[in-house]
C-alpha cells in the first residue's frame, strides 16, 4: 500500500505538523497562522474524504492567496518573520498535494526547517526540549513511512533510540567544532521586534513605566563576594542637558581624551555580565568600571558601550571599584553641568536660600536638601500625578509625590541653581540575588535614576535623593507582583509567613539558575568562550581541536556500532519449534514440506492421503498460523499446539 494513502501515517504526520507550527502563534501574524491552520484542517478532512481535496485550479488559487498574505504582512520574504512565514505557508500548501511517498519526505524535511526556525525567536531550555520532542515525532514519521508493519508506538520508540544515540555525538561536535561567527551584514534585522528599555532622554514618569516591567535586562556572576545592595548601581546614560522638562545627554561625548583618568582605591569587584538582547550599544557596568577589554569602550561620562551586536546575548568580563576620584572637570563638562534653561523662579531661589545653597559649602547644601526630602512629607510612588508645566517646581512645592526621575531631576536642578556642577545618571539599581546559583538578576523594574555632583578634590560623587525618601528602594528588591493599586511599591523580604510562597520562590530561583547556565554555557558558547573553555584542557589551537573531535567521535561511533551490531540471543519461538517437531514426525511417512511451500498448502496436500489424521493435521496447521502470524497470539494456543504435536503419532 502506498504510504501516502495510509490513514494512520497521514494522521500521525498532520498531528506532528500541528505541534511544529503551534509555538509560532506567538511570533507570526494571525493571517499567516490562520491560513496554515485552515489548510491543515482541510487536509485532515481529506484523509476520510479524499474527494473534498482541492483540484488543480483551487491549488493555484490557494497559492495566490498565500502569496498575497505573505506580501501584505511582510512586504517580501527576507528577514526573520518573512522567511519563517514563507516556510509555514509553503508547508501548508504542500499538504494539498500528497500523492506519493516522495511528497511525504518533502513535507517532513520542510517541517524540520520550520521547527528549527523557532530558535530565531526563542532559545530557552524549554523551547529546546520542545524542539527535541518535535524532532522525535518527525523522525518517527520517517520510521513509520519506511516500515509498513510498524505502528505509532514502535515508530516513536525507534526514533527515541536514534536520537539517544545521536545526542553524545552532537554534544562532542557542539563543544569541539570551531565556532563560526556570522558577519554583521548577514544578521537578520527585524526592527519591529527590537527590545525597549532605558532611553537616552528622561522625562517625568519615563522610568516609572519601566518600574512596572518584569522583563530581564542582564545577569551578573561575581568572582568573589557580591556587593551589598547599596553599592549596586549599574551605570547607563548620563544626562547633562535639560530644557526644564526633558533631560538629555551632552552633545559631544568624545572629549574623553581631555579628561583626567579616574583614580581607584579600596576594594574591587570582578564579575561576568550577561546582557540580554537590546537595541542599544550600552553595557551597564557596576559604578565605576576600571578594567574592561575590547570591544568595550568608555565615553566621556564613564559609560561603557560596545561595538558588538547587542541584539543577541553578549557576555563581558569587568572589574569595578566603588571608591574612585574622577579628578578635575574639563571646561565643556563644567559648562554643561551648570546649564539651566532659564532663570529660576522666586520660590526656587527661596528654597535654595533656606537650605543654604548660596552661603555654605556644597556638602552642607547637599545634606540640607536630602534632609528636606526626608522630613517634608515627600512620597515615593510609581504613579505620580501628571506635571505637564514646570514639573520640577510642581513636584517640589505642590504634589511632592514622584518616582526616582522626579527626585534626581529636582536634586540636580537645585544644585545647578546654587551654582554647583551636577548631572543625572540613569541605569539600574539593586538586583535580585539568586542564592542557588549565586548570581544577580537585574530587570527593567530595577531601572533607576540618581545624581552626581562634582566636588572639589573628590570629582564626581554619587548622591541618591530617592534613598532619602525611600531607603528600602536601595536596600531591598522590588516585588512587582505585589505592586499596590495606588502605585506604592512592595519590596521582597527574606522573612515570609507562607511556606507555599517560599517554596514557589525557591522553585523560581532554581529554574532561573538552570536558565542562566543554559544561556551562558550553551546559547552564548561563542568563539571566545570556546577558546577559553578548551584552553583549560590544553586544547589551544585549531589542529589539536580537530584531532580531539575526530578521536572522540571515532570512539563514540565504535561504541555505538558495537551496540548496534551486537545481536542478543533470540528467544525460542515455541510455536515454530512445535511445528518443526510436527514436520519431523510426519516425515516418517515419506511426506516432506517443500522449500517455499506454505503451511496451509502442505496441509492440503497431505490430508487426502492421511485421512485418519486429517482433523489433527488441520488443527495443528490452524493453531500454528494463528500463533505465528495472527494479530493476537496467546500462551493458551501455544500450549494447545504443543500438546497436539506431542500426542500425534504416525
Q: Per residue in 517-561, pLDDT tens?
A: 888 888 888 777 788 788 888 888 888 888 888 888 889 888 878
**566 found inside a domain:** no
Average pLDDT rounded to a whole number, residues 253-272: 80
Greater model confidence, 571 or 79: 79
- Looking at the structure of the chain, the number of domains it has is 3
- Model confidence at 146, pLDDT cuts 50, 70, 90, reads confident
C-alpha torsion sign, points 44, 45, 51, 55: negative
Greater model confidence, 242 or 611: 242
276 touches 217 (CB < 8 A): yes
Average pLDDT rounded to a whole number, residues 576-600: 86
Domain that holds residue 52: 3-145
Q: How would you write 315-359 as a 3-class SS string? A: EEEEEECCEEECCCCCHHHHHHCCCCCCCCCHHHHHHHHHCCCCC
**501 found inside a domain:** no
**526 found inside a domain:** no
Greater model confidence, 429 or 7: 429
Shared domain for 319 and 433, answered yes or no, is yes
**476 found inside a domain:** yes
- Model confidence at 194, pLDDT cuts 50, 70, 90, reads very low
Report whether pLDDT(478) > 60. no
Determine if residue 541 is left, alpha or beta; phi over 0 gives left, psi from -120 to 50 gives alpha, anything else beta.
Answer: beta
The pLDDT value given to residue 485:
45
Shared domain for 354 and 279, answered yes or no, is yes
Q: Which of 449, 482, 515 is the last residue of a domain?
A: 482
Shared domain for 24 and 114, answered yes or no, is yes
507 touches 495 (CB < 8 A): no
Shared domain for 343 and 458, answered yes or no, is yes
Least-confidence region, from 9-18, 487-496, 612-621, 633-642: 487-496
Shared domain for 126 and 222, answered yes or no, is no
Shared domain for 220 and 285, answered yes or no, is yes
- Listed in order, strand segments (DSSP E) in 103-232 are 201-202, 216-222
477 touches 509 (CB < 8 A): no
- Model confidence at 479, pLDDT cuts 50, 70, 90, reads low
Q: What are 290's three cell numbers?
A: 576600571
CA distances (Å), 95 to each of 36, 86, 151, 304, 473, in order? 10, 15, 22, 52, 57
Average pLDDT rounded to a whole number, residues 581-589: 87
What span, in angstroms and rounded, lies between the C-alpha atoms of 140 and 158?
A: 7
Shared domain for 315 and 417, answered yes or no, is yes
In order, the DSSP letters of 364-381 are: HHHHHHHHHHHHTT-EE-
Q: Which residues contact 512 (CB under 8 A, 6 or more apart)?
A: 434, 436, 437, 441
* Burial class for 221, CB neighbours closer than 10 Å (0-12, 13-18, 19+): buried
19 beta partners: none
The pLDDT value given to residue 487:
46
Q: Which of 482, 510, 538 is the last residue of a domain?
A: 482
Burial 78-108 (b: 16+ CB within 10 A, else e): ebbbbbbbbbbbbbbbbbbebeeeeebeebb
Q: Per residue in 418-474, pLDDT tens?
A: 999 999 999 999 999 998 989 999 999 899 999 999 999 899 999 999 999 888 766
- Listed in order, strand segments (DSSP E) in 28-161 are none
Shared domain for 412 and 273, answered yes or no, is yes
Report whether pLDDT(258) > 80. no
Q: Per residue in 19-75, pLDDT tens?
A: 999 998 888 888 899 999 999 999 999 889 888 888 888 989 999 998 888 888 755
Least-confidence region, from 76-85, 221-230, 544-553: 76-85
What span, in angstroms and rounded, lies between the C-alpha atoms of 5 and 130?
A: 29
Q: Which of 404, 362, 407, 412 is nearest to 210 (CA)?
A: 404
Shared domain for 209 and 140, answered yes or no, is no
Shared domain for 225 and 101, answered yes or no, is no
Shared domain for 131 and 210, answered yes or no, is no
Q: Which of 124, 145, 166 is the last residue of a domain?
A: 145
Q: Per residue in 308-353, pLDDT tens?
A: 877 788 899 999 999 999 998 888 889 999 999 999 999 999 999 9
Q: Per residue in 387-403, pLDDT tens?
A: 777 899 999 999 999 88
The pLDDT value given to residue 77:
59
For 474, the 3-state DSSP assignment is helix
Least-confidence region, from 204-218, 272-286, 288-302, 385-399: 204-218
Shared domain for 102 and 222, answered yes or no, is no
The pLDDT value given to residue 541:
83
**555 found inside a domain:** no
What span, in angstroms and rounded, lies between the C-alpha atoms of 162 and 136?
A: 9
380 beta partners: 402
- Model confidence at 193, pLDDT cuts 50, 70, 90, reads very low
CA distances (Å), 516 to each of 278, 524, 590, 592, in order? 17, 10, 78, 73
Rg, Å, the chain Cα set: 37
Amino acid at each position: 500500500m502506498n504510504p501516502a494513502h495510509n490513514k494512520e501515517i497521514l494522521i500521525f504526520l498532520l498531528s506532528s505538523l500541528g505541534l511544529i507550527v503551534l509555538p509560532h502563534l506567538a511570533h507570526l501574524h494571525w493571517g499567516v497562522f490562520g491560513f496554515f491552520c485552515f489548510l491543515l484542517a482541510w487536509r485532515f478532512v481529506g484523509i476520510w474524504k479524499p474527494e473534498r481535496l482541492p483540484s488543480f485550479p483551487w491549488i493555484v488559487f490557494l497559492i495566490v492567496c498565500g502569496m498575497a498574505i505573505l506580501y501584505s504582512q511582510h512586504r517580501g520574504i527576507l528577514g526573520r518573520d518573512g522567511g519563517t512565514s514563507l516556510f509555514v505557508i509553503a508547508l501548508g500548501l504542500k499538504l494539498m498535494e500528497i500523492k506519493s511517498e516522495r511528497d511525504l519526505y518533502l513535507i517532513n524535511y520542510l517541517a524540520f526547517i520550520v521547527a528549527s526556525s523557532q530558535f530565531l525567536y526563542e532559545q530557552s531550555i524549554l523551547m529546546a526540549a520542545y524542539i527535541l520532542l518535535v524532532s522525535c515525532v518527525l523522525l518517527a514519521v520517517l520510521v513509520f513511512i519506511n516500515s509498513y508493519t510498524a505502528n505509532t508506538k514502535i515508530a516513536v520508540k525507534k526514533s527515541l533510540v536514534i536520537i539517544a544515540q545521536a545526542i553524545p555525538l552532537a554534544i562532542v561536535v557542539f563543544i569541539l567544532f570551531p565556532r563560526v561567527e556570522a558577519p554583521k551584514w548577514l544578521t537578520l534585522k527585524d526592527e519591529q521586534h527590537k527590545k525597549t528599555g532605558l532611553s537616552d532622554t528622561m522625562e517625568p514618569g519615563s522610568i516609572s513605566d519601566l518600574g512596572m516591567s518584569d522583563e530581564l535586562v542582564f545577569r551578573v556572576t561575581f568572582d568573589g563576594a557580591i556587593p551589598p545592595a547599596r553599592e549596586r548601581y549599574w551605570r547607563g546614560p548620563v544626562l547633562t542637558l535639560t530644557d526644564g522638562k526633558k533631560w538629555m545627554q551632552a552633545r559631544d561625548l568624545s572629549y574623553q581624551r581631555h579628561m583626567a583618568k579616574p583614580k581607584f582605591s579600596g576594594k574591587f569587584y570582578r564579575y561576568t555580565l550577561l546582557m540580554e538582547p537590546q537595541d542599544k550599544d550600552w553595557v551597564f557596568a557596576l559604578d565605576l568600571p576600571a578594567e574592561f577589554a575590547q570591544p568595550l569602550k568608555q565615553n566621556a561620562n564613564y559609560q561603557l558601550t560596545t561595538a558588538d551586536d547587542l541584539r543577541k546575548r553578549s557576555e563581558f568580563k569587568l572589574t569595578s571599584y566603588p571608591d574612585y576620584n574622577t579628578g578635575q572637570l574639563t571646561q565643556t563638562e563644567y559648562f554643561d553641568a551648570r546649564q539651566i534653561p532659564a532663570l529660576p523662579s522666586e520660590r526656587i531661589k527661596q528654597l535654595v536660600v533656606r537650605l543654604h545653597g548660596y552661603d555654605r559649602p556644597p556638602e552642607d547644601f547637599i545634606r540640607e536638601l536630602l534632609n528636606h526630602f526626608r522630613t517634608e512629607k515627600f512620597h515615593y510612588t510609581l504613579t505620580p500625578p501628571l506635571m505637564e508645566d514646570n514639573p520640577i517646581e510642581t513636584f517640589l512645592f505642590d504634589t511632592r509625590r514622584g518616582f526616582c526621575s522626579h527626585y534626581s531631576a529636582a536634586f540636580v536642578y537645585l544644585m545647578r541653581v546654587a551654582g554647583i556642577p551636577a548631572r543625572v545618571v540613569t541605569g539600574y539599581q539593586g538586583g535580585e540575588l539568586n542564592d542557588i546559583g549565586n548570581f544577580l538578576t537585574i530587570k527593567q523594574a530595577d531601572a533607576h535614576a540618581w545624581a552626581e555632583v562634582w566636588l572639589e578634590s573628590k570629582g564626581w560623587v554619587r548622591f541618591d535623593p530617592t534613598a532619602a525618601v525611600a531607603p528600602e528602594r536601595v536596600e531591598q528588591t522590588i516585588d512587582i507582583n505585589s505592586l499596590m493599586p495606588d502605585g506604592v511599591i512592595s519590596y521582597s523580604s527574606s522573612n515570609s509567613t507562607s511556606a507555599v510562597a517560599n517554596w514557589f520562590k525557591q522553585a523560581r530561583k532554581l529554574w532561573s539558575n538552570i536558565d542562566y547556565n543554559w544561556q551562558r554555557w550553551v546559547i552564548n558558547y561563542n568563539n571566545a568562550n570556546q577558546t577559553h573553555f578548551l584552553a583549560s584542557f590544553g586544547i589551544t589551537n585549531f589542529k589539536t581541536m580537530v584531532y580531539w573531535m575526530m578521536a572522540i567521535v571515532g570512539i563514540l561511533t565504535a561504541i555505538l556500532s558495537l551496540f548496534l551490531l551486537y545481536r542478543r540471543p533470540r528467544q525460542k519461538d515455541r510455536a515454530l519449534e512445535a511445528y518443526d517437531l510436527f514436520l519431523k514426525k510426519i516425515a516418517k511417512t515419506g511426506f516432506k514440506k517443500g522449500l517455499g511451500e506454505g503451511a496451509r498448502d502442505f496441509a492440503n496436500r497431505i490430508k487426502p492421503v492421511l485421512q485418519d489424521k486429517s482433523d489433527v493435521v488441520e488443527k495443528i496447521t490452524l493453531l500454528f498460523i494463528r500463533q505465528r502470524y495472527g494479530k493476537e497470539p496467546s500462551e493458551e494456543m501455544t500450549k494447545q499446539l504443543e500438546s497436539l504435536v506431542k500426542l500425534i503419532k504416525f
